[in-house]
Amino acid sequence: MESFVAEKELDDIDRLLLKTIQNNASLSNVELAKKVNLSPPATHGRMKRLEQEGYIKNYVTILNREKLGFDLLCFIYVKTSIHQTVQLEAFEAAIVAMPEVLECHHITGEYDFLLKVVLKDSSDLKNFIGNKLSSHGSISGIQTSLSYEEVKSTTALPLK
């Protein structure tokens, strides 16, 4: 019989570490230690524990999509006609393989999936919908919304 071991509750210093690095993951251990008033070895130990316990999933660099020519940010609602597990998994695998798709959410409501997609221009959008997305046999409906202004975009969680 497996025993369940609860994760250690986060204390104020853990939360401060997480809040600090989610806004700037490029801080050195020494800089991070100064910001949270800990010694560098204590900071390093806490960070390793937070990583091992799964509170920190990854460290990434956020690129400027416009500078790289991805002028279209699209939200694409997808309705599928087949809802068996095997077909849904095949659709999800196809979406995961598409580099243009930044996020894919299985949602409730009229549509089944919401995709967040970046593309260079309207020609790329036409190609993406017409050749990539629509080629999957289980799709019965697509609705696309284009973002004309990104008012807020963050990866920071609202930690207290």
- In order of their start, the domains of the chain are 12-52 (1.10.10.10), 72-147 (3.30.70.920)
**Could you tell me the two tokens for 157?**
């969680």
34 vs 116: CA distance, rounded Å: 37
113 vs 78: CA distance, rounded Å: 5
Q: What is the pLDDT along the chain (160 residues), one digit of tens a residue?
A: 333 344 468 999 999 999 999 999 999 999 999 999 999 999 999 999 999 999 999 999 999 999 999 999 999 999 999 888 998 999 999 999 999 999 999 999 999 999 999 999 999 999 999 999 998 888 999 999 999 999 999 999 999 8
Of residues 65, 62, 68, 66, the one with CA closest to residue 23? 62
**Axis-axis angle for helices 12-23, 40-52 (nearest 10):** 80
